Protein backbone atom coordinates (compact mmCIF):
# COMPACT_ATOMS: atom_id res chain seq x y z
CA UNK A 1 0.00 0.00 0.00
CA UNK A 2 1.52 3.31 -1.02
CA UNK A 3 0.77 6.65 0.56
CA UNK A 4 1.23 10.20 -0.70
CA UNK A 5 2.82 12.71 1.68
CA UNK A 6 4.34 16.16 1.38
CA UNK A 7 7.85 16.56 2.79
CA UNK A 8 9.10 20.14 3.09
CA UNK A 9 6.68 21.23 0.39
CA UNK A 10 7.52 18.41 -2.03
CA UNK A 11 4.96 15.69 -2.76
CA UNK A 12 6.34 12.18 -2.44
CA UNK A 13 4.94 8.68 -2.64
CA UNK A 14 6.03 6.14 -0.05
CA UNK A 15 5.66 2.47 -0.98
CA UNK A 16 4.73 1.54 2.56
CA UNK A 17 3.62 3.14 5.78
CA UNK A 18 6.60 4.12 7.92
CA UNK A 19 7.33 5.86 11.19
CA UNK A 20 8.98 9.27 11.40
CA UNK A 21 12.14 7.58 12.69
CA UNK A 22 12.25 5.22 9.66
CA UNK A 23 11.67 8.11 7.26
CA UNK A 24 14.50 10.14 8.81
CA UNK A 25 16.82 7.13 8.68
CA UNK A 26 16.04 6.57 4.99
CA UNK A 27 16.84 10.23 4.31
CA UNK A 28 20.10 10.02 6.28
CA UNK A 29 18.85 12.54 8.84
CA UNK A 30 19.27 11.70 12.51
CA UNK A 31 20.73 14.11 15.04
CA UNK A 32 19.30 17.52 15.79
CA UNK A 33 16.18 17.20 13.66
CA UNK A 34 12.83 18.79 14.47
CA UNK A 35 9.71 17.35 12.83
CA UNK A 36 6.20 18.75 12.49
CA UNK A 37 3.28 16.88 10.96
CA UNK A 38 0.27 18.83 9.77
CA UNK A 39 1.57 21.87 11.63
CA UNK A 40 2.10 20.12 14.98
CA UNK A 41 5.55 19.51 16.47
CA UNK A 42 6.24 15.82 17.14
CA UNK A 43 8.63 15.21 20.08
CA UNK A 44 11.63 13.00 19.33
CA UNK A 45 10.33 10.51 21.90
CA UNK A 46 7.38 9.84 19.55
CA UNK A 47 9.33 9.51 16.27
CA UNK A 48 9.47 5.70 16.46
CA UNK A 49 5.78 5.29 17.23
CA UNK A 50 4.24 8.00 15.01
CA UNK A 51 3.26 6.30 11.75
CA UNK A 52 2.85 8.50 8.69
CA UNK A 53 -0.56 8.59 7.03
CA UNK A 54 -1.75 9.41 3.54
CA UNK A 55 -1.85 13.18 2.90
CA UNK A 56 0.35 14.04 5.92
CA UNK A 57 2.30 17.29 5.51
CA UNK A 58 5.72 16.82 7.06
CA UNK A 59 8.23 19.54 7.82
CA UNK A 60 11.75 18.42 8.68
CA UNK A 61 14.01 21.14 10.03
CA UNK A 62 17.69 20.85 10.84
CA UNK A 63 19.26 23.56 12.99
CA UNK A 64 21.59 25.91 11.16
CA UNK A 65 25.05 26.57 12.48
CA UNK A 66 26.90 29.81 12.30
CA UNK A 67 26.92 33.11 13.99
In tens, the pLDDT along 27-59 reads: 998 778 899 999 999 999 999 999 999 999 999
For 35, counting Cβ atoms within 10 Å of its Cβ (0-12 exposed, 13-18 middle, 19+ buried), the class is buried
Domains of the chain: 3-61 (3.10.20.30)
Select from 24, 29, 15, 30 the least CA-distant residue to 50. 24
- Binned at pLDDT 50, 70 and 90, residue 66 comes out as low
Output the pTM of the full model: 0.86
Amino acid sequence: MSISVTINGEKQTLNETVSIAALLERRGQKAGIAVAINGEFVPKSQHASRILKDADEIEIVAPMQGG
